[in-house]
Amino acid sequence: MAYFDAASSAPLHPVARQALLAALDEGWADPARLHREGRRARLLLDASREAAAEAVGCRADELTFTSSGTRAVHSGIAGALAGRRRVGRHLIVSEVEHSSVLHSAEAHEADGGSVTRVPVDRRGRVAVGSYEAALREDTALACLQSANHEVGTEQPVAEVASVCRAAGVPLLVDAAQSLPWGPVGGDWSLLTASAHKWGGPSGTGLLVVRKGVRFAPRGPVDERESGRAAGFENIPAIVAAAAALRAVRAEAAEEAVRLRELTERIRARVPRLVPDVEVVGDPVRRLPGVVTFSCLYVDGETLLHELDREGFSVSSGSSCTSSTLTPSHVLKAMGVLSEGNVRVSLPSGTPEEEVERFLAVLPGAVAEVREKLGAPAAAAPAAVREDALVVDALGRRCPIPVIELAKVFGDVPVGGTVRVLSDDEAARLDIPAWCEMRGQEYVGEEPADEGSAYVVRRVS
């Protein structure tokens, strides 16, 4: 089985496994105690903090270990907002942040705060000027991920940190995806990360708060981790996390070159091997091991099952899953095709042969899914109304509305239009994306008795 979902969670690094087993024997005692076992545990905790701080590029006393990356984000945002409450209650985030950041923003709004959500371009990248324009006198905190977890696009963190610093606003960086590849540059104020993203054990995160940043921990506190992460430290997991981070950093420069070549191969060959595919994300400023593409006329969940049967573990930001009927917030913010979405994220050490096997298997898997969905072959349920062809796709989820559009489009004369009736939110993204890929004109969205009508004009 080829595991191609490292952006969700990387396999446990061999060094982490060794460190974890050793620390289970040596680091079980309370590091706050003065007896021999406690001192031994304290030495392990302090050494791990020093190693992690060196990898991040901060002081050891600025770094706190938390119970997860999500907890680090929640605690970091809440603490920074509370520390600067006298300044104001305005928060800035990008539209493509990890859900932990967006959930914190929603909680802040529910508590009476205000939030500005900065848009991104079709490559998933924010404009520095947009962050600068969002800054206000009452802005307490800005947040920006270093790299996107779904499409791999890297963000201009250093430039955004500079404009925030000039305005006296701290910037919190979610570095979960990029930290294994190198420290985050720029004059940021807070940083979060999660050990399972770099081959450490799950349930261990990092929160860095630079000296001088106003910060007030929320909720009950105790004497541990500077009062920023209550509870007994999981020292074996912390030791393993720090050991794994040091190990992957030692391999990062060489491995980044190798994985980037493999993902470039996927980016270049998938559109040639599979028709009607859109490769998304920035082609240059992106993580080494992540490549994401979307396939027209494909149910994303079905495609993932087909690839799983062929021995490949991949993930998807598609709306076509059993757990959600709305498009990925990242793909939605980018305005790109959401149906049939596949994210390939290669872990360190991925063999070239596995990538070649994936490229050999993918065309057949996509073709099989399309055949099951009947894309596009038989006549669509359509009726002629006045001068427009109407496709009724109400009650049918992606990618069916686009498939039905494609089935009848060849019967429309040049200059003619098709109105696709759909109540699936994904159609708002996927039908315009289909038009762009096909070189046809997307006229726009119109109200309908049920759902919406998406109007497409044939221009060639």
Which amino acids are annotated catalytic? Answer: 320
Task: Give the number of other Cβ atoms within 10 Å of residue 28's Cβ.
Answer: 12
70-73 long-range CB contacts below 8 Å, 24 or more apart?
70/100, 70/194, 70/205, 71/205, 71/229, 72/192, 72/193, 72/194, 72/205, 72/206, 72/207, 73/98, 73/100, 73/101, 73/104, 73/172, 73/174, 73/192
- What is the rounded distance in angstroms from the CA atom of residue 204 to the CA atom of residue 193? 9
For the CA atoms of the chain, what is the radius of gyration?
24
Measure the N-to-C terminal CA separation of the chain; round to a whole number of Å.
Answer: 45
- What is the rounded distance in angstroms from the CA atom of residue 126 to the CA atom of residue 146? 11
115, two tokens: 């939030």
Nearest to 181 by CA among 141, 147, 158: 147
